[in-house]
Chain A
């Protein structure tokens, strides 16, 4: 089907026949559907083109594997091989012309050594390579296979998980954000630095999202997740459209929630929760501040790289016009050194960004999810209180009815009371359950957070170490040239 779009001169790369794991579901969708596509971005579905994805950063992220939790890419099996070969060839961003969905090259390595055995899943072309050995979860097929997933599928997965688990207290990792501008640029075929960066940024975000999701012991077993990882065809996630009725409903609900939150005054009997909530508030503020600083650093470093390059050229010119030979040569050398340093700055900026900044962004969003979970607990408490109050009222009403001669109504009241008593009990149970779950989740979250930050910071520091080593090399090479001026 990809080949059937002639208008943009698309070439098919890799094996033309993508056999069984085909393009997901563009079977349902006559043209008029395009208005109600998954993403508002898909309004530009017509203007799609190939984008080459030779991002070096991806290789860095993929091949580096200092943390034991990430399995390095295992040598390809026969299934994978043809695709890997196409790695070196510009790989196309398959974009379904009709629905305008978008699929990505994603390559995730997921492993959970604490769990049973090694479990790794990799997505390539949203191919999911799962290599489970000795896992007791029989749901996973052996061997490797891949699936294609669109961005909207990820969002769909998240919304399903959120609706199932958030209100009972599980911290569901938030999905990456939509970005209309970035996506449009890619779709319109603007093949420049920023659109490549955008693609890489999104790919990396999706990878991290999936990894967080599958690391969660409860979410991992969820049938939706399994389906997402395994099945070659996925029903379209319709409710992720921002402008759909479901989307609007979501927005209204969110607003209502916000109002409710302000009006709920909970008698917090558990000091732990109060303390934790405060902690997360503070953490939120600090992380946001930190994130902003890191983003500023990335920006300034890029600027520094540009200015260093300009200076290098200028120094070269100066060296040219200098008529003392040795000095002229030294100045040219200086220009070269500065040019190399400029490249270093650029690489450093990338590391700043991909390692540090994105991590912080993820955590800012995660904390929002955590806060949401706390809010749900409050809501559960509120529900419980409400049913209790209602019960109280009904009991009073029943007491009053005792003195009237209306046996039917009395019976009805008694029935209602019984029902309500059950509800109250359920409410209390729910509340306790959610409190328990949250405690577990929070402690898990904190452990994960420490691990996460630690591993990222170590990686980041290692990149800094490399930069310094390079710098030393360059300046050591320059020094004798400078000394040789006579």
Chain B
């Protein structure tokens, strides 16, 4: 096992990055009572190890500052434990971070390694650098996603007190959480099918409460549109990357031309090459930044809006159960049989429904606030970055033009 500190990457993807607290997609109120971040991460061949660092003044923890190492599966375990916990039915469960996916990037690096013989040393070095930068970007992204999840939990007034969460943060051994086996995955699949069918039924029930009725309609439409926008932005960014790759190839061709040529045109080509190279870097960076700001934002809110929809589903389900319990109670009273049982059942349903409704309202309002703040932050940053790059590009182009024109 080979790992190197610092943002350097060996061919087969061993990478360790020391990370500062990063700006994330969510605007969160963190307070001193509980602060969580991912201070370090290590990418090995087929897994990523996150170092989860906690600082807390809460009495629940043995120390005030401590770190543990966690893998992706453990994050999922934590998320699922929230979802399955009835007590949390009335809250928007922070969406689980997506699985780290380096396959594409690793494949590219591998192809590069295989094709090493067919290109010049400079080409190879440059391509390697670009691919490594890409790998690093993906890596940073996945770390950010995992961190956001934890921060959301830590910021939530109820979830932060969850026992599983504390175990996750503190227990410095492996949690022995294995990924789901085939049988369990199949079970999950069926569960989801049932749930979505049920969801349709439940959604059909009109809500008395205007607020929730409005939210239901809004979220449904919003979720679909975010999905569409997310897909389209991915395509746009991929095209942008393709164009940037082309520019890279053009630059390297121009470079070869420049070095081969013994005439005057050589100097000229070299200048143009340098320009092209920088333009490529700028284009690639624009594409990467767009990626981070726009696409990640949309993807994140796609998951969050799904979580919000899930909340509404649970509430809807509880409402249906409540109404059914009412009917059952009436029937029982009419027949004068099992009345006590029906009453208890009805009370439970009522209680559950009211509890969910109460917290759900606040959750949905918070969701809106978070969403607006996140969009604002990212849109502003996107615009600022685009401007920065365009201005840089412009300066570069103009200085190169003046050199070229001055040259006779």
Contact = CB atoms under 8 A, between A and B. Distances in A.
Given A454-B268, A468-B390, A485-B372, A293 B263 contact: no
Interface in A283-341: 283, 286-287, 289-290, 293-294, 296-297, 300-301, 303-304, 307-308, 310-311, 313-315, 317-318, 320-324, 326-327, 330-331, 334
Interface string B209-242: 0000000001001100110110111011011101
A140 interface: no
A3 interface: no
B384 interface: yes
B394 interface: yes
B246 interface: yes
A300 B379 contact: no
Contacts of B246: 293-294, 296-297, 300
Interface stretch (B30-38, B247-255, B334-342, B354-362): B247-255
Given A286-B260, A304-B236, A483-B380, A465 B225 contact: no
- The main secondary structure of chain B at its interface with chain A is helix
B405 A458 contact: yes
A246 interface: no
Contact of A293 (B226, B253, B272): B253
B331 interface: no
A417 B375 CA distance: 94
Contacts of B260: 279, 282-283, 286
B221 A469 contact: no
A450 B243 contact: no
Contacts of A485: 372, 375-376, 379
Interface in B260-290: 260-265, 268, 272, 275, 279
A311 B236 contact: yes
A300 B250 CA distance: 13
B250 A317 contact: no
B332 interface: no
B379 A453 contact: no
A431 to B, nearest CB: 26
Contacts of B256: 286
Nearest to A295: B246
Contacts of A475: 383, 386-387, 390
B368 interface: yes
B372 to A, nearest CB: 5
B375 A461 contact: no
Contact of A322 (B222, B250, B397): B222
Interface string A101-113: 0000000000000
A464 interface: yes
B398 interface: yes
Given A296-B246, A314-B229, A478-B383, A468 B394 contact: yes
B379 A330 contact: yes
Contacts of B375: 327, 330-331, 485
B68 interface: no
A321 B236 contact: no
B400 A476 contact: no
Contact of B404 (A314, A315, A461, A476): A461
B391 A311 contact: no
B393 interface: yes
A324 B263 contact: no
A293 B376 contact: no
B193 interface: no
B391 A458 contact: no
Contacts of B225: 314, 317-318, 320-321
B404 A300 contact: no
A290 B250 CA distance: 6
B257 interface: yes
A469 B398 CA distance: 11
Contacts of B390: 468, 471-472, 475
A482 interface: yes
A164 interface: no
Contacts of B229: 311, 314-315, 317-318
Given A457-B272, A465-B394, A472-B387, A327 B376 contact: yes
Given A297-B250, A453-B265, A307 B239 contact: yes
Q: Interface residue tally of chain B, by bracket?
A: 35 or more
A311 B233 CA distance: 6
Contact of B243 (A282, A300, A324): A300
Nearest to A334: B379
A446 interface: yes
B329 to A, nearest CB: 38
A471 B386 contact: yes
B142 to A, nearest CB: 24
Nearest to B235: A307
B401 interface: yes
Given A324-B368, A464-B397, A475-B390, A314 B380 contact: no
A444 interface: no
A461 B400 contact: yes
B387 A482 contact: no
B394 A318 contact: no
Given A297-B243, A327-B375, A476 B387 contact: yes
Contacts of A310: 232, 235-236
B250 A465 contact: no
A479 interface: yes
A192 B243 CA distance: 26
A310 B250 CA distance: 28
A310 B230 CA distance: 11
A289 B253 contact: yes
A482 B250 contact: no
Given A297-B246, A454-B404, A304 B239 contact: yes
B74 to A, nearest CB: 34
Contacts of A287: 257
A303 B239 contact: yes
B394 A290 contact: no
Nearest to B245: A300
A462 interface: yes
A449 interface: yes
Interface in B97-136: none
A341 B261 CA distance: 37
Contacts of B249: 293, 296
The 8 closest A-B pairs by CB, nearest first: A304-B239, A297-B246, A485-B376, A482-B379, A311-B232, A468-B394, A290-B253, A307-B236
5 contacts: A308-B236, A318-B225, A453-B265, A485-B372, A485-B379
Given A307-B235, A446-B263, 8 more contacts: A286-B253, A286-B260, A289-B253, A294-B246, A297-B246, A317-B229, A458-B404, A479-B383
Interface of A: 279, 282-283, 286-287, 289-290, 293-294, 296-297, 300-301, 303-304, 307-308, 310-311, 313-315, 317-318, 320-324, 326-327, 330-331, 334, 446, 449-450, 453-454, 457-458, 461-462, 464-465, 468-469, 471-472, 475-476, 478-479, 482-483, 485-486
